[in-house]
Amino acid sequence: MEQRRSYPAIIASDSIARFAPLHSALQGTDPVPLPLRLTNAIFFPLFFPGAYLLLLRWREKIRDSTPLHVLTLPDMAAMVPLLASVMYLLGLLGIVFVHSVLFTCEGVALLHVDLSTEPCRPPVPIPAPAPSPAPHPWSYLCSVKHLDNYPHVSADDEEIVTSVVTGTMPSYSFESKLGDCRRAAAIRREALQRSTGGSLGGVPVEGFDYDAILGQCCEMPVGYVQMPVGVAGPLLLDGGEYSVPMATTEGCLVASTNRGCKAIHVSGGATTVLLKDGMTRAPVVRFGSAKRAAELKFFLEDPLNFDTLAVVFNRSSRFAKLQGIQCSMAGKNLYMRFTCSTGDAMGMNMVSKGVQNVLDYLQNDFPDMDVISISGNYCSDKKPAAVNWIEGRGKSVVCEAIIKDQVVKKVLKTTVPALVELNMIKNLAGSAVAGSLGGFNAHASNIVSAVFIATGQDPAQNVESSHCITMMEAVNDGKDLHVSVTMPSIEVGTVGGGTQLASQSACLELLGVKGANLESPGANSRLLATVVAGAVLAGELSLMSALAAGQLVKSHMKYNRSSKDMSKSACGLSI
């Protein structure tokens, strides 16, 4: 006598074969008498016009104070296609859902199989999975994801590297295709080494957050460059003490700046004045005649039009505030230099968005205006330019200090008259002879670059940010030294760009200016600019003293030359 039994989760192998045709035969579109593509083409478009017509009818009823439940012929005409399409979509999705529950991808989702027509048989256990292969040398990386555009690529990193080397797969899209930024950098790095035959052994790849740079800091990374960070200070500035982080590979630089900080500190500190705070962007447009270009120039510079233009410009950000527009012409070409405050961001993108808003607005009244470029170099960004030296860009800062006579002698190892004379002959007259543009200083760029790299600023903006004139004068009957630096275009920010990277963020935290200032937007970036100016003052003071005392070569030979026996180090010998 046969016995009815059911086997949950595990069924006989021949029963699996018996039910497999049933599984393969059932499809989610079987209830539809027409092909799926045709039915979708019919029912999907019915949903949108039906809903739109019904909404129009409801709006008319609301305006006419007609109850919504009162149905008219247009109402029913709108509801029929809407309900039909909704029923079709629900039915189609429901069938697919039910089938996905009843049938798994292995074809063994019948939880209780009725075997009444067969003799009772012991269940056949599911075979154990095969042991996983030995881990790949890059097993620390995650599995491959989202490689649909490259179906010939397997889940093995070695095959991906081979595809890059042979030119069948571009490496610039790894981040989006693999979904793992660190893994993308490692694979790209290996492919680069194989294709070039070189070695990147000295460029580390581990220990860096590649997700943090995606889409904003660096493309196609293969690792990161290590940069030592020193600290100069404390710098006593406006009553506060600051330890200034400096990322540099130049010996003596941090030590020299630190000595200047000491001289400033024991003399009572330095004070700063912020003269301006405004980032610039200058598009260039062209007209058919110079007269027409001049008409736009007069329109932009008319005070009566400024408020309207400011409203249009300020739509780009809640921190963007248009301060002024300065125009210059070259024939039929008009250059418009927009200046605006940008909060705690350095602000280039913010200003560019605002400028684009104004250009779109002006196009209505000046349809013949041909926009050549959003940037016409009248800004001027990352280039030495007189307009930045004269008008300023970013933060314009003056930093000054009075160094006591005894400090000059004991700490700086020189005299006040020697410093005053050297500054006039070197920084002022010497720079004038060289035709320098904003370079009336000893080495402001050294300090600016080091602080910029440490705090995540744009290193290329060191060009205009290092514009500086250093002044020295004997005061208090010639006993003490008044020293100052005037820097009209320090371009810094505490949010955006490289400031959000871990190391750079830590350096900003050290200065107490990390992120945006919620109470006073822009206060953190302005404080950072004053710290940069204070550090430059310290660096100028120390280097000029070394030059006046004839210590420059001696100090560089002491701090900027390695005493290691490189021939023995290279051979791996030790004594």
Catalogue the active-site residues: 250, 382, 458, 556
394 CB-near residues (< 8 Å, 6+ apart): 277, 278, 279, 346, 461, 464, 465, 489, 490, 491, 492, 529
Q: Beta partners for 370?
A: 286
DSSP-derived secondary structure for 520-567: STTHHHHHHHHHHHHHHHHHHHHHHHHHHTT-HHHHHHHHSS--S-HH
* 3-state DSSP assignment of residue 116: coil
H helices of 65-180, in order, are 73-102, 157-165, 174-178
Q: Which amino acid is present at 513? A: V
What are the backbone dihedrals phi and psi of residue 23, each rounded to the nearest 5 degrees, phi first? Answer: -65, -45
Cα separation, 394 vs 550, in Å, equals: 36
Q: Which of 487, 482, 452 is nearest to 468 (CA)?
A: 487
For residues 536 and 448, the answer to whether their CB atoms sit within 8 Å is yes
Cα separation, 186 vs 188, in Å, equals: 6
For residues 345 and 495, the answer to whether their CB atoms sit within 8 Å is yes
For residues 144 and 155, the answer to whether their CB atoms sit within 8 Å is yes
Q: What is the CA radius of gyration of the chain?
A: 36
Q: Produce one character per residue of 48-60: b if its CB has 16 or more CB atoms within 10 Å, e if not.
A: eebbebbeebeee
